[in-house]
Amino acid sequence: MDARPVLFFDSGVGGLSVLGAARALLPAMPAVYVADSAGFPYGTKSEQEIGARVPALLGRLAERYRPRLIVIACNTASTIALAAVRSALDLPVVGTVPAIKVAALHSATRVIGVLGTDATVRQPYVDDLAARFASDCHVLRHGSADLVSLAEAKLRGEATDPARYAAILDGLFRQPEGARIDTIVNACTHFPLVERELQAAAPHPVRFVDGSDGIARRIAFLTRGQLWPDAPRPGLAVFTGGAPQSPSLVATLARYGLGTVETL
């Protein structure tokens, strides 16, 4: 038996959308989920700040939790720091990058929206994905810190105002060609957690896509042949910025198999 966990990393609770997909495919996978709540939010930070913080923190976390693999369950951290993390650590690192390729496979109108954080949507990484996989599409981008806050609030059990989701989507639909968007990439791991709210606020039916199922398959591929514990083990949630105060969030963590909470 091999008890080494898979370590999932995000600035907040967004990476739970990735953990959920991975758990569905690999139910016996032991997991440590780290929310860098002391550094939250990432999406409004500079490339320099993210580039300095994420590799150093992941180095410390790898020493402490000895994972078999790390998943950077955050588009902002991945599009800025994935290469630096990979070269600093001697273990497999899976990143989360905007699912533009998946969106291009589905879009009939060839107009795709990319909804991410401000930091993600300005990355050259996104230009590159659009050029490689969606060169015949209009790829419209919008960055929203408010949508990250809404997802965090929802998981704390707070009611969120539907008008705020509509205002965020306006940032895509009101761009030239925006009225023809038929597919939106949730390019921030927080956003699948509020997909129902986004769907309800969209001016017409839209398909939302994200990378979580692809990441789950990638974890399965990279750990093929490895042993897992015989029975699922309670996972650990780690917060760098103080323990979560919301009972609703603690209950949600438990639903994702994260029965123990620790602070760093």
Q: Give residues in contact with ligand DGL (CB under 6 A).
A: 10-12, 14, 40-43, 74-76, 117, 120, 148, 188-190
Rounded to the nearest whole angstrom, what is the least distance from the CB of residue 207 to ligand DGL in the complex? 19
Q: Which of 102, 147, 188, 238 is catalytic?
A: 188
Least separation in angstroms between residue 14's CB and ligand DGL is 3
User: Is residue 137 annotated as part of the catalytic site, yes or no?
Assistant: no
- Collapsing DSSP to helix, strand or coil, 208 comes out as strand
User: Nearest-CB residue to ligand DGL?
Assistant: 43
DSSP state letter for 194: G
> Amino acid identity of 148?
V
Q: Which is nearer to ligand DGL, 148 or 228 (CB)?
A: 148
What is the phi/psi pair of residue 23, to 5°? -65, -35
CB 188 within 8 A of CB 76: yes
60/160 Cα distance (integer angstroms): 35
Nearer to ligand DGL by C-beta: 35 or 112?
A: 35
Q: Three-class SS of residue 121?
A: helix
Catalytic residue among 54, 74, 104, 258: 74
What is d(CA 108, CA 9) in angstroms, rounded to the nearest whole number? Answer: 34
Q: Is the CB of 33 or the CB of 40 nearer to ligand DGL? A: 40
C-beta of 191: minimal distance to ligand DGL in Å?
Answer: 8
CB-based contact 98:185 (threshold 8 Å): yes
By annotation, the residues acting in catalysis are 74, 188
